[in-house]
Amino acid sequence: MRILLFLLTNAAVLLLISIIFRFLGLGDMLNQNGVNLNLDSLLLFSAAIGMSGSFISLLMSKWMAKSSMGVYVIEQPSNATEQWLLESVRRLALGAGIGMPEVGIFESPDPNAFATGFSKNNALVAVSTGLMQHMSADEVEAVLGHEISHVANGDMVTLGLLQGVVNTFVIFFARIIGFFVDRVLLRNERGYGMGYFITQMVAQIVLSILASMIVMWFSRYREFRADAGGAHLAGRQKMIGALRALQRAHDPEPLPDEMAALCINSGGASRLFMSHPPLEERIAALQKL
């Protein structure tokens, strides 16, 4: 239902944008300047390319996580730690009202964890060896609650679909800019000239950078919700303790891009490109709950 509603919303957005283009006369303006483009067809083409990439990434997310991070999935616990992990995730998942996720461990000296998966009832929650070594049981429980909240909130699907929407508009506007430069400025009247390909490529890079700011803003907003969910499932003081433990740790090594927005902790970056809010702000938000 979440996916259906989001797709219907996106379809409505595309329809609204098409109407706005017609109202502003963008198509006529382009035609008058020799840029003969069917904007509706281009918009649909861009949506097909942008959204399909996101859906493929979502479908492959668990496999990609296991492969890229070397996640060992616990099927039959071999020691007390693995047994405790499974029991903790099962209890938290039950409290969040979702199906039991797969539980895994990946080798990393840094304290970190992430959740991924196509749906809330078919997810993966993984923790690093560093997290298990450097955090107390209460702090690990809070981190697991944070990741379970990501799953319960449908953050993986929503973030993937948002990425698909911004990809759509990046492709759409990059091609319009490329056509405009090629046909109007360089006055190429046949086919696609080098001006189109070069301009379209540069425009796509620039627009992708701007679009990533939108995705990262949403990711930061979502982190506050996951922290609140972790506090609800495991306890507010435990969640605050886990974030303070992350503050004491050294800056972690960055995870792959497809995992970074789904983890408990992330490396430093410019504010506009941060997938996570500063830990101080996250702790202050929890203290106000």
Q: How far is CA 202 from the centre of its chain?
A: 24
Q: Which residues, other chains included, contact 41 with Cβ-Cβ below 8 Å and sequence gap of 6+? A: none
What residue ranges in the chain does DSSP mark as E strands?
Answer: 72-73, 102-106, 113-119, 122-128
Other Cβ atoms less than 10 A from the Cβ of 96: the count is 18
Is pLDDT above 60 for 96? yes
* Cβ-contact 96, 149 below 8 angstroms: yes
Lowest mean pLDDT among 3-12, 101-110, 219-228: 3-12
pLDDT of residue 231: 96
Quote the pLDDT of residue 159. Answer: 86
Looking at residue 127, what is its pLDDT?
Answer: 96
Name the average pLDDT for the chain: 84
Res. 103 pLDDT band, cuts 50 70 90 = very high
Asked whether residue 232 is marked as a ligand-binding residue, the answer is: no
Residue 118: its pLDDT value, please? 84
Would the annotation count 82 as a binding residue? no
pLDDT of residue 22: 67
When pLDDT is cut at 50, 70 and 90, the band that residue 107 belongs to is: very high
> What is the number of other CB atoms lying within 10 angstroms of the CB of residue 9?
12
Per-residue pLDDT, 281: 94
Per-residue pLDDT at 63 exceeds 80? yes
Show which residues are catalytic: 147
Of residues 182 and 6, more confidence is placed in 182
| Confidence check: pLDDT of 206 > 60 | yes
Nearest to 263 by CA among 161, 75, 158, 110: 110
Judged by average pLDDT, the poorest of 33-37, 96-100, 143-147 is: 33-37
Higher pLDDT among residues 273 and 60, named by residue: 60
Averaged pLDDT for residues 201-221:
91
Q: Which two tokens stand for residue 194?
A: 């080098």
Alpha carbon distance 270, 246 (integer Å): 19
The pLDDT tens digits for 159-201 are 888 888 888 889 988 988 888 888 777 777 666 778 888 999 9
**Among 120, 116, 121, which residue's Cα sits nearest to residue 67?**
116
The lowest-confidence range among 51-65, 203-217, 247-261 is 247-261
Phi-psi region for residue 125, left (φ > 0), alpha (ψ -120 to 50) or beta? beta
Locate tokens 């078919």: which residue? 122
Per-residue pLDDT, averaged over 212-226, amounts to 91
pLDDT band for position 104 (cuts 50, 70, 90): very high
Q: What is the mean pLDDT of residues 76-91?
A: 95
Strand partners, 127: 105, 113
Contacts for 149 with CB less than 8 Å, ≥ 6 apart: 96, 225, 226, 227, 228, 229, 230, 232, 233
